[in-house]
Amino acid sequence: MRLRSRAARRAGLNVLGVLVALVTLFPILWMASTAFKPAREIYSLTPHLLPAHPTLGNFRSVLDGKVIGLPYWNFLKNSLFVTLASVIASMLISLLAAIAVARFRFRLRTSYLIMLLIVQMLPQQAMVIALFLDFRSIGLLDNLAGLILVYTAFSIPVTIWMLRSFVAAVPREMEEAAAIDGAGPMRIFWRIMLPLVAPGLVATSVFAFIFAWNEFIFALTFLGTDTAKYTLPIYVTYFYGRGTVDWGSIMASSVLFTLPVLVFFLIVQRRMTNGLMAGAVKG
Amino acid sequence: MVRTVSGQPGRIPGPEDPASPADRTGHRSPGLRDVPGVRQRAAAFIRRRRLTPYALLLPSTIAIGLLVFWPTIQIAEFSLQNYGLPQVTGVAPTQWVGGANFSAILSDPEFWLSLRISLIFAAVVVPLTLLTGTLVGLLLNRLGPKMAAFVSSAAMLAWATPAVSASVIFIWLTDPDGGVVDWVLARMPSWLGGGAHWAGFSWTNAPLPAYTLLTVLVVWQGFPFVAVSVLAGLKTIPAELHESARVDGGGAWRIFWRVTYPLLKPIFLVLLLLSIIWDFGVFTQAYLVTGELGNRDEYNLGIYVYDRAFTMPPSYGIGSALALILTVILLIITIGYVRASVRQGAIQ
């Protein structure tokens, strides 16, 4: 009797879990399903969950650049360039800073950490006004290099915070032992710190990747006039903004933009969430 | 990269180095000729250890200083100037106008409307996000490991979905022509609020439907983070505590408020403050759902800031003053967040 009620409760919880997962996944699945539907099914009076006659037509028109005049690859290239450059830059910069705050005790340490917390919360729609005017005067508008600078600076407060806990987890004794054996700081860094922090670097770089890949407001403001320079988020909304709304193309472009993030995220999910916790909530 | 530490100009022991003359005068006795060298090296080592953290922080401080702090200072400066199109094109010089931008803002009904929308939106979305996230977190804690991994992965996919994609998806879901939400609502029985009048209903043309849609969208993207944080907190609570509470005859509701909530209170406080900061200033989703600056009566404070600064004719002065107001509001909440984090021992 007792056993049965426990099994029933377990089954009930599982059903609830599946329900939560399905409701949560529904918008993403609907995006994918729409992307494969031909126009007459998209605007049909009775929407179906799955496309009855799946087509690649929407993807083809996105990849060929039917709407914007430039193929998808052009914007993928822009987004990849901006994202990878800013991820590498922010990893280099934040690893140094993370070593400083995790390994050294110095006077400004607490102030620096508090500064990082505050900086994360400053509204980007405020900063974008001054940065727009600054970049305008030094010719960084319509320039992907400007975005790389901004994405690096705005991701490091979080990446330092996340990396800090990974650096702190490297046993100090290992470094000391290597130092006693005569290894210099450079050698200790390359041979001990870097390999041990590598998983943390991966998790943290996923955060920096998602931030730069998804970023909208700076790209929207800085890449105003030069369509060829658009990154993928601006590209997706470009479809949306043109008079006749072609939902098939919008969803197809949205799939091509979202999929890399979701795949990337699923691969490193566990470490990522642990790192996020270390960043936001010390658990 | 660490090389920059020893490569710094200030660290090479030279004649101006205060440590060197002392060493030289102190140990001149023959036979110990190499001792000064050793001492000098030791002193350099200690100095290096002392300066190393600052050298390591240099790149990040420069990046944050130039691209975050400097713009903030500039915004404060511009907020007191008549910075507009003639000034940015160099036709006319910028002039200090004192508090004129601020008094113009305070007497502008659109500002108060957008502030009201931001406040109400945060007041609705923050509790909803925390409630949904907590319930899912509690559920995750009671599921088997495989099921929990599946559900939390599904939830975190919603979190990882880019704001632009999420907005476009939800706009499509609620589209008057072909959107699945209107279709379902039109077929729902009237006692559930459904009915034929939902067919072709536009969700983006009036503030209330637009912000209802935004609420669902932002809760959908926000609850997974809360759920996973709550789950991480729950894992730190010893199982015996819950068991003994259950043996004492407490129901789930009582156990939550008597055992779980007090132990997770610090986490809830941080999540509450983070959610307020995020939802009060929400931009991308609101910008897209309200039609890319298309409907002035649907502006929240963040969109209003952006519109005043950039919509032709641009008014960077007024925009900066508004941005400063938004920043100050968020900073006040941030102070609470920092204090909560410090109390939790985050700065260790």
The answer, yes or no, to whether the previous bond of B313 is cis (omega within 30 of 0) is yes
Chain A residues near residue B140 by CB distance under 8 angstroms: 17
| Alpha carbon separation from A193 to A105, A149, B174 (Å, rounded) | 18, 27, 51
Helices B261-280 and B109-142 cross at an angle (nearest 10°) of 140
B323-338 in b/e burial notation, b at 16+ Cβ within 10 A? bbbbbebbbebbeebb
Give B4's contacts (C-beta < 8 A, 6+ positions apart). Answer: B55, B58
Contact A200, A167 (CB under 8 A): yes
Helix and strand numbers, DSSP H then E, in chain A: 14, 0
* pLDDT in the model for residue B34: 52
* pLDDT in the model for residue B29: 44
What whole-number distance in Å separates Cα of residue A235 and Cα of residue B101? 35
Chain B residues near residue A103 by CB distance under 8 angstroms: 53
Determine how many CB atoms are found less than 10 A away from the CB of residue A243.
Answer: 4
Residues β-bridged to residue B96? B81
Tokens, residue B159: 């979190």
Closest-CA residue of B relative to A213 is B162
Q: Kindly state the average pLDDT of the residues B67-86.
A: 88
Q: Cβ of B180 and A14 within 8 Å?
A: no
Q: Cβ of A99 and B56 within 8 Å?
A: yes
* pLDDT in the model for residue B100: 83
pLDDT exceeds 70 at position B17: no
Of B5, B155, B284, the CB nearest to A217: B284
Q: Cβ of B178 and A44 within 8 Å?
A: yes
Closest-CA residue of A relative to B154 is A21
Chain A residues near residue B274 by CB distance under 8 angstroms: 280
Closest-CA residue of B relative to A152 is B63
Give A242's contacts (C-beta < 8 A, 6+ positions apart). Answer: A67
pTM, to two decimals: 0.83
DSSP letter (8 states) at residue A25: H
B195 against A201, higher pLDDT: A201
Q: How far apart are the first and last CA of chain B?
A: 25
How confident is the model over B202-234, as pLDDT tens digits?
Answer: 888 888 989 999 999 999 999 998 998 888 888
Q: Is some CB atom of chain A closer than 8 A to the CB atom of B88?
A: yes
A99-102's contacts with Cβ under 8 Å and 24+ in sequence apart are A99/A167, A99/A193, A99/B56, A100/B52, A100/B53, A100/B54, A100/B56, A100/B57, A101/A160, A101/A164, A101/B53, A101/B57, A102/A164, A102/A165, A102/A167, A102/A168
Q: Cβ of A93 and B59 within 8 Å?
A: yes
* pLDDT in the model for residue B38: 67
* pLDDT in the model for residue A3: 62
Q: Cβ of B50 and A106 within 8 Å?
A: yes
Query: Mind telling me how many Å the CA of A17 is from chain B's nearest CA?
Result: 6
Q: Cβ of A262 and B157 within 8 Å?
A: yes
* pLDDT in the model for residue B44: 66
Confidence of residue A145 (pLDDT cuts 50, 70, 90): very high
| Alpha carbon separation from A80 to A124, A205, A212 (Å, rounded) | 22, 14, 9
Q: Kindly state the average pLDDT of the residues A268-276.
A: 59
Contact B172, A247 (CB under 8 A): yes
Q: Given its phi and psi angles, is residue B31 left (phi above 0), alpha (psi -120 to 50 degrees) or beta?
A: left
Interface of B with A in 133-162 (CB under 8 A): 136, 139-140, 142-144, 147-148, 150-158, 160-162
Determine how many CB atoms are found less than 10 A away from the CB of residue B222.
Answer: 25
* pLDDT in the model for residue A187: 86
Segment holding B206, helix H or strand E: none
How confident is the model over B141-196, as pLDDT tens digits?
Answer: 888 888 888 998 899 899 889 999 999 999 999 888 888 888 888 888 878 877 77
Q: Kindly state the average pLDDT of the residues A18-40.
A: 92
* pLDDT in the model for residue B11: 30
Q: Given its phi and psi angles, is residue B217 left (phi above 0), alpha (psi -120 to 50 degrees) or beta?
A: alpha
Q: Kindly state the average pLDDT of the residues B260-270.
A: 84
How confident is the model over B298-338, as pLDDT tens digits?
Answer: 888 989 999 988 888 888 888 999 999 999 999 998 888 88
